[in-house]
Amino acid sequence: MDHKTKLPVAIDLKKAQEKETDLRVLSLLSQSFANVQAASTEIINLEAILNLPKGTEHFVADLHGENEAFSHILRNASGNIRRKVTELFGTSLREQDIRNLCTLIYYPESKLEYTKADEDNMEDFYSVTLHQLILVLQSVSSKYTRSRVRKALPKEYAYIIEELLHESPTDYDKDAYFRRIIETIISTGQADNFIIALCNVIQRLSIDQLHILGDIFDRGSGAHLIMDTLCEYDRFDIQWGNHDALWMGAAAGNDCCIANVLRLSLRYGNMATLEDGYGINLVPLATFALDTYGEDPCEGFEPHIMDNAHAPDDKSLQLWAKMHKAISIIQFKLEGQLIDSRPEWKMEDRKLLHLLRPEKKVIEIEGKEYELKDSFFPTVSQDNPYALTEEEASLVEKLHHSFMVSDKLNRHIQCLLSHGCMYAIYNSNLLFHASMPLNQDGSLKEVELHGEKFKGRALMHRIGMMMRAAFNDDTDPELKKFAIDYYWYLWCGKDSPLFDKSKMATFERYFIKDESTHSEEKGNYFKLRNDEKVIDGILDAFGVGGEHRHIINGHVPVRAAKGESPMRANGKLLVIDGGFSKAYHATTGIAGYTLVYHSRGLELVQHEPFESAEKAVKEGTDILGSKQIVELSAKRLRVRDTDKGIELQGQIEELRDLLQAFRHGLVKERHLR
């Protein structure tokens, strides 16, 4: 009986507590919206935004330092600008004129210089071009509020551009006003600057959100330039890739990661990012390599030079080969030490130096002898093969210091941390770079991380938190040391979502002739990712809903030349690594994919190799190949159909609650003067 009488009291108390919490939230909201009028105005504004067309999302992956190609796809929005220009002028301009206008939008400064050399009547060119650019800007800005557009405008021209944007030259009453603005821009000598400003705004507004699915670094020579661009970019996110994690680990002070970064840079002849970009001092490595491997031809360590136009001379190539071998041996030693200190990673099979039999020119693995390509190991002791020599230890210390004091590298890594994560979910799309650890039956695999086991979403979240812990000053010292070490496991550990293979056969590829030892068995995700049920299971586990939902990956180049498709699992998995890096062009047959998700649906854009910005300007060439419609929407998507729309609808509900609180006197209005 007592239980029955007390229960309603408990319920009433709970409701009262919830009501108090709600009132505190509404009181806090009233600090921004002080009265009925302010709250009502904001509701009207948000309801209007919900009915704007969905902004264009732009997905790219595996840039690998190809700065010029990346810059170009940002400038042309993977064809989105060309599509807008064609919609506007397809029936009134010739194809060449459309190409010229698009090229002007992509590269306004350079294109204007070429135009001045060929054009007889610049005043006429300015007048026609300014009218055309205003129409293009009106089209690309139509998805945004005036406030959002205003923020994208350069301050010096903001007022004039706003006037032109919101007045139509076809309006008889405003025609003279519109024309006079254009004429005055030309007569005051501001046409060039104004055209450049308009083109830059068109570029910025053509992409609402940029998604980068990992691997900005390695292979190409412009990763630091890509990061410079991103750090100034308004709206982007990144899902970290294995190469990003490697550089993050190097910046955190992981010597194994530092050695791998140096090895890969030397392998692809990419000194620009290290020396010019981040000021890494390579003189100690060069000196050590010449002293230790001066008489060694270092065959098999020659750099893979992808840009023959900027290939170094033979003397530099020979030096780089020696530096390449030197840092590789140091890497294998450092990795052996780290493997011994982290037995829970179960990577003992990656320790191979103690199995060398250089006097016989073989290595003995599991009782079988394999012939070596190279048997010159002057710094590897038979008694203690993983110990650094005194000279190697001194070199590692200098290289470590060089990475730690690079302010620019630290700024770029902080940018990656502030805009990045292991995975993200946007508008029914689950984004992650490479893989999801799975069991053989396709179920999520539990993976141990610092003494605890996680799978799926919890695993990805925990890994992301661990990566951040390496850079947090308030992290427990023992945990911070583990977090720094863990970056190397992410690079090459069997259960790493950024690797997910049986092993990384770096040593075998360099030193063992028998190619059967070079194989790296892919994990279950790569074996099962064509199975729609497996993909649906992952999407369900991450809480990704929607009629049209996808996983979007990079990491593994799609061999388009061999007929491979970027779409798998009945279109639910999209792999958009088409090989931006020149190192992959021969393998893929193309030069990358980008995915564009606009208000009419999803389009996959296949790119051709990008030669140079100069050729793009001079000849009006582009790198757009074929387009593939992934999905078309039956109706044009609005903001209300997106994640942002859900967020705004929640805000509207809160504001409506605030209105009721004002009207019932639960929250007091303030009338500002």
State the Cα–Cα distance between residues 622 and 628, nearest whole angstrom: 17
Predicted confidence at residue 299, as pLDDT, reads 93
What is the structure's pLDDT at 3?
45
Give residue-wise pLDDT tens across range 411-442.
999 999 999 999 999 999 999 999 999 999 99
Q: How far apart are CA 77 and CA 54, in angstroms?
A: 16
Identify any residues that bridge with 369 across adjacent strands, giving them in sequence order: 364
Write the pLDDT tens digit of every residue in 478-502.
Answer: 999 999 999 999 999 999 999 999 9
How does residue 308 score in pLDDT terms, banded at 50, 70 and 90? low
The predicted structure's pLDDT at residue 4 = 45
Instruction: Give pLDDT, residue 579.
Output: 64
Confidence of residue 606 (pLDDT cuts 50, 70, 90): confident
HEC assignment per residue over 260-321 = HHHHHHHHCCCCHHHHHHHCCCCHHHHHHHHHHHCCCCCCCCCCCCCCHHHCCCHHHHHHHH
DSSP result, 175-221: HHHHHHHHHHHHHTT-HHHHHHHHHHHHHHHT-SEEEE-S--SSSSS
| 591 or 357, higher pLDDT | 357
User: Does 261 score more than 90 pLDDT?
Assistant: yes
The per-residue pLDDT for 22 is 81
**pLDDT score of 5:** 43
Distance CA 665, CA 142 (A): 40
Residue 650 has a pLDDT of 93
With a cut of 70, say whether residue 310 has pLDDT above it.
no
Task: In whole angstroms, give the CA distance from residue 260 to residue 84.
Answer: 44
DSSP secondary-structure letter at 232? T
The pLDDT score that the predictor gives to residue 19 is: 59
- Encode pLDDT of 123-149 as tens digits: 999 999 999 999 999 998 988 888 888
C-beta separation of 470 from 252 below 8 A:
yes
- Work out the average pLDDT over 457-465: 97
Specify whether the CB–CB gap between 222 and 230 falls below 8 A. Answer: no
Distance CA 403, CA 391 (A): 19
* pLDDT, tens only, 374-399: 999 999 999 999 999 999 999 999 99
pLDDT at 622 over 70: no
Q: Where are the alpha helices (DSSP H) in 456-612?
A: 456-469, 477-492, 506-511, 524-528, 532-541, 585-588
List the domain boundaries for the chain: 2-49+642-663, 57-213+555-637
Rounded to an integer, the average pLDDT of 607-623 is 67
Q: Which residue has the higher pLDDT, 564 or 16?
A: 564
Mean pLDDT estimate for the chain: 89
Q: What's the pLDDT band for 2 if we cut at 50, 70, 90?
A: very low
What is the chain's alpha carbon radius of gyration, rounded to the nearest angstrom? 29
**Residue 295: which residues within 8 A CB-CB, separation 6 or more?**
none
Q: Is the pLDDT of residue 504 over 90?
A: yes
pLDDT in tens, 231-248: 998 889 999 999 999 999
Q: What pLDDT, on the 0 to 100 scale, is given for residue 344?
A: 96
Of the pLDDT bands very low, low, confident and very high (cuts 50, 70, 90), residue 9 is very low
Query: pLDDT, tens digit, for every residue of 162-216?
Result: 888 876 655 666 677 888 888 899 999 999 999 999 999 999 999 999 999 999 9
Tell me the two tokens of residue 15.
Answer: 């409701």
The pLDDT tens digits of the residues spanning 335-355 come to 999 999 999 999 999 999 999
Predicted confidence (pLDDT) at residue 39 exceeds the cutoff of 90: yes
What tens digit of pLDDT does each residue of 529-575 get?
999 999 999 999 999 998 889 999 998 887 766 777 888 999 999 99
Residue 445 φ/ψ region, left for φ over 0, alpha for ψ in the -120 to 50 degree band, beta for the rest? beta
Does residue 98 surpass a pLDDT of 80?
Answer: yes
Give buried/exposed letters for 81-94 (b at 16+ CB in 10 A, else e). Answer: bbbbbeebbeeebe
Beta strands 57-60 and 362-365, pairing class: unpaired
